[in-house]
Copies of this chain bind each other. A is one copy, B any other.
Amino acid sequence: MPERKYGEVPGYPEGSEFKNRRELAVAGVHKPLQAGISGGKDGADSIVVSGGYPDDEDHGDEIIYTGQGGRDPNTGRQIADQQLTLGNLGLVRSELDRRPVRVIRGAGGDPAYSPARGLRYDGLYWVTEHWHDIGRDGFRIWRFRLAKQMATSPGPTQTLATHVAGPAPRTSYKGNRLVRDPSVSARVKKLHNFTCQVCGTQLLTAGGPYAEGAHIRGLGRPHDGPDHESNVLCLCPNDHFRFDAGAIYVDDTGMVWDALTYVPVGPLRTAKGHEVDPEHLRYHRNHFAAAGPSSLPRNGQQSTADAEL
């Protein structure tokens, strides 16, 4: 298998139009003739958004995209749980590796953003989040948030990481943060003295200690968690990443579990004055945890994610 090509395909800038999937495949913009995701365990390089999944949401520069699999090819209805394999695994891998994904919209997608006919390459997106849910037909689906990467342009610098700057070619991206009340995270971190509630690490710098305020149930659509101390944990970056990726979760007794090995990590550390709402932890388990009791499917079989491991 030749190496997957990430990023723009030379000769096909954003806005390029294609009559059909064959043209798209020949151009190398999206190679599979049928699958919506071009990807595998090494990553995903392109997706087609064409309204095939009722759970898809197209907001233009942001897309909430449904994974592949588990559908009846005739009716298009979901008849089984989706697995974290093939293209679905590819999109997670591209999120982990921060690889750009080409987005192609087809007629049949949201009319506000889709071409009237054929297919159109709509630029590069980042996968910024993935989680699972029960779709309209009652089976597990994987969902991916994709956010548009804006066109290349020279400009000033800002990143969350520290080491980025300078007079060099750049690619800007559309960056937005919800207006959070910074005092919410600040209070939680202070109550825990910047000590991770999972592992007890306090990262020290010459400027003082550092920790992150992690929202348990994400703010904004579709999670709509509150920006309140009961929805925030004080975590080190490693455990923040693991929590968001569903690699750890917290059960109703306050025990932290490794979602991949079923090994208990230890009790979630508490601090006087900081009450975490168990409902938010339950939401996180149900939608983010890779495995564990709450992600067992409704029929009681081994969970989808678990079966992958």
Q: Give the interface of A toward B (CB within 8 A).
A: 6, 41, 59-62, 84, 89, 92-93, 95-99, 126, 128-130, 145, 147-149, 152, 155-179, 182, 186, 189, 201, 203-210, 214-215, 218-225, 236-238, 240-242, 244-247, 259-260, 290-291, 305, 308-309
Contact = CB atoms under 8 A, between A and B. Distances in A.
Nearest to A196: B238
B182 A164 contact: no
Given A156-B176, A157-B176, A158-B176, A206 B166 contact: no
A177 B170 contact: yes
Contacts of A168: 178-179, 219-220
B179 A242 contact: no
Nearest to A100: B182
Given A157-B147, A158-B128, A163-B223, A207 B92 contact: yes
Number of copies: 2
Nearest to A215: B163
A138 to B, nearest CB: 22
A244 B163 contact: yes
Given A92-B206, A182-B98, A237-B241, A159 B175 contact: yes
A219 B158 contact: no
B204 A177 contact: no
Contacts of A97: 182, 186, 189
A52 to B, nearest CB: 22
B84 A245 contact: no
Given A92-B207, A174-B172, A208-B92, A62 B179 contact: no
A291 B159 CA distance: 25
A205 B96 contact: yes
B305 A182 contact: no
